Amino acid sequence: MDITDVQEPITATKSDLSQSSFDKVLLKQARFHDAGMQRTAFEDINLSDARFKQFNLSRATFTDGAMPGVRFVNANMAGAAFADVSLMGASIENANLTGLNISGCNLTHMRIDDVLVEDLLAAYRKTA
């Protein structure tokens, strides 16, 4: 089914839209509830001010993007990867960071439990 130049809300319920393609589509204030989107690709997407609740981002890959001010609270991001992504002003709360590896990053003003990481690294390097 092709939908072109439609300018009205569309409601899809109990539908299988697997392998669908959306190109140059405006979805402002769209709502996705109880949607399976495994292995979905998002490219050149503006998600500013988007809200995600009860989501699973395990093994998600974020590459070459901007996520300033993003907040991750109680999020499952096991195995997620961030490369060349700006997380300036972001916050991560109540997260399991077991096995987290941070390398080649600008850590200016980054804090863990309100302690500057730059200070922690300086203290570590003095004793190492």
Residues in the chain: 128
Q: How high is the pLDDT of residue 1?
A: 87
Per-residue pLDDT of the chain (128 residues; tens, 9 = 90+): 889 998 999 999 999 999 999 999 999 999 999 999 999 999 999 988 888 888 888 999 999 999 999 999 988 889 999 999 999 999 999 988 888 899 999 999 999 999 999 999 999 999 98
The torsion region of residue 119 among left (phi > 0), alpha (psi -120 to 50) and beta comes to: alpha
Q: How high is the pLDDT of residue 66?
A: 94
Cα–Cα distance for residue pair 68/101, rounded to 1 Å:
20
Residue with tokens 């907040």: 71
Cα–Cα distance for residue pair 4/1, rounded to 1 Å:
10
pTM above 0.95, yes or no: no
pLDDT digit string, tens, across residues 62-78: 999 999 999 999 888 89
Closest CA to 73 of 96, 92, 89: 92
